[in-house]
Structure 1
């Protein structure tokens, strides 16, 4: 594993990994969204590429771009005030959110009522959703090599819309991306993800269960695939304690390169866009933009603004470069 100092000294590597993480998130979001579509399941069963008619994007990528924009504006140091300001500028101002996550919509409504973090996240029916985990990788990028700082900053961002598992899931993902940015091994990445999660939480329990299933099956995908689905399934779609262990479970099963890991995560059932987005960000941080299929990069590079209007037409690679510039 590199030290942060060693990473910072190699500006080409910094940009490769920062852009890789952000575009990897977008690819995983779009790929997982396409993979779970019934038409694709009927046509292919298990997809290995974007089909000609695949479209994107979802709230996962666009809220991640909100986090990125906030980080860039605050020069890499998030505060409660900077997060609230960003939400008022780009979320609360909208009247509707096509394909928006329930947790984020509820948080925007709480902000309109005058609530502020942490109450805006606590007083939210969907406070344990995976809505923070999918938007938090930009924090891990900026905090490259410092997982404790990544977890601390993730809590600041997540508290506006989430509480408990919703925050811990964001901390786990941010810490994992932080370690992947300095080329940590996947064992080190998984250890970093587990560190901020309380041991008496539902998320911790399911993470341990996922890793145990894989260990008992000696990493055999055929023996793990259905037990992982059965063990992790929650009563409500997009629950942190389901989606985040699923994402890390997929990474534990396949991480030889970006494409193989991404394809497995994107084909997981239920909230596959978030599972893919989290895996894509970690894999992108680990392997860098140079190891991601260029056709996939161009497929998702410019978001549609489907959920957050300000994101329409942005260049994700350029934003990734700006995040990389904050790593000093």
Structure 2
């Protein structure tokens, strides 16, 4: 595992805080077909907020309420208005994943993931592939058919956003993290949708012991098929970074190479996450702000990049402008978890990670 005691606890806590903060940063502009990279930066320039170093500011009155229309939740997740985290599915699934492992252990089955969804997750708080799978489960359809029956979203980003918990509880063990994420993902996804979840879990697990984000990105590719489209786009993003291409030009090139895919598809979003991590160079603020400025599914991408960056630096090193407004409180639609303490969720995750390491040792 490579880490133990308070150091491991701090890194796991950093992952939770980073996920919540990154999600909150991206949520006001989460609509990739409208909030393009160019529009996000034009908004930030109007607000005098480039470079971005804090949560999104609000332009009042907005110079163009149509062009710069924020999501309705902006009143809970913009600068100066945050008092604890607002509810979001990107964090609900981390909470539900923790509950899954506390209930069924590391040997959970895909069927048990589905049962917990039906018991603890409101149907109307699911979206795209998860909503289709939920409907299939409620109709008695079992996995893996639950992922394919009437599901046009099988390779979208939903399984990736559920993967963090499997990385947090397997510090330094990307393959084990990816295997657990796969069991979760196949409930609702196939192909690159599953590989995206495996990659994200492996990326977070690798961040505990890797020598920076570049090494973590490389190590996270080992559990997934090397010729799948997701692996190819991650390697492409890394090659552009290694060649010294600028952040903006790298994203331009990756956008051209993934043209035609929906803005919630896992492949272009993995490119944005990878680019944010590499050009953020291990700095928490740079990582999440570059990732969100990269557009597409901004809150999901900010959450995953924030989780990795938080693990890399640990909770104590995350700048206070990101953590203080969260007030250690987390809103959640998962039954029994609303208004939970982020620190408590992190401590419970740490206990699971320690127990998991003991299982491997024996």
TM-score bin (small chain): 0.7 to 0.9
Equivalent residue, structure 2, for 1:201 = 228
Are 2:262 and 1:231 equivalent residues in the alignment? no
Cα displacement string for residues 228-281 of structure 1 (whole angstroms, at most 9, x for unaligned residues) = 333344431210111112101221112232111111112111111111111111
TM-score (norm 1): 0.88
Check the 8 A contact 2:54/2:321 in 1, yes or no: no
Equivalent residue, structure 2, for 1:268 = 294
Distance in 2, Cα, partners of 1:266 & 1:309: 29
Equivalent residue, structure 2, for 1:79 = 109
Check the 8 A contact 1:34/1:40 in 2, yes or no: no
Larger Rg: 2
Are 2:48 and 1:48 equivalent residues in the alignment? no
Check the 8 A contact 1:29/1:57 in 2, yes or no: no
Check the 8 A contact 1:232/1:245 in 2, yes or no: no
Deviation of residue 219 (structure 1)?
A: 4.6
Deviation of residue 183 (structure 1)?
A: 4.5
Aligned partner of residue 127 in structure 1, secondary structure: coil
1:83-102 alignment runs, 5 A limit: 83-91=113-121, 94-97=122-125, 100-102=126-128
Are 2:177 and 1:150 equivalent residues in the alignment? yes
Deviation of residue 40 (structure 1)?
A: 6.9
Check the 8 A contact 1:130/1:238 in 2, yes or no: yes
2:98 pairs with one of 65, 68, 92: 68
Distance in 2, Cα, partners of 1:95 & 1:158: 18
Decide whether aligned partners of structure 1 residues 138 and 184 sit closer, same or farther in structure 2, where only a CA change above 3 A counts: farther
Distance in 2, Cα, partners of 1:239 & 1:263: 21
Aligned residues: 316
Decide whether aligned partners of structure 1 residues 195 and 295 sit closer, same or farther in structure 2, where only a CA change above 3 A counts: same
Equivalent residue, structure 2, for 1:19 = 13
Are 2:350 and 1:324 equivalent residues in the alignment? yes
1:245 pairs with one of 260, 271, 279: 271
Equivalent residue, structure 2, for 1:187 = 214
Aligned partner of residue 262 in structure 2, secondary structure: coil
Higher mean C-alpha displacement, 121-130 vs 282-291: 121-130
Distance in 1, Cα, partners of 2:8 & 2:337: 24
Are 2:162 and 1:132 equivalent residues in the alignment? no
Cα displacement string for residues 197-224 of structure 1 (whole angstroms, at most 9, x for unaligned residues) = 22332212222322233233x1532432
Deviation of residue 147 (structure 1)?
A: 1.0
Decide whether aligned partners of structure 1 residues 95 and 169 sit closer, same or farther in structure 2, where only a CA change above 3 A counts: closer
Higher mean C-alpha displacement, 202-211 vs 265-274: 202-211
Deviation of residue 311 (structure 1)?
A: 4.1
1:315 pairs with one of 341, 347, 354: 341
Deviation of residue 44 (structure 1)?
A: 1.8
Decide whether aligned partners of structure 1 residues 150 and 256 sit closer, same or farther in structure 2, where only a CA change above 3 A counts: closer
Aligned partner of residue 330 in structure 2, secondary structure: coil
Deviation of residue 41 (structure 1)?
A: 5.7
- How big is the alpha-carbon RMSD for the aligned residues of Structure 1 and Structure 2? 2.3
Distance in 2, Cα, partners of 1:36 & 1:174: 23
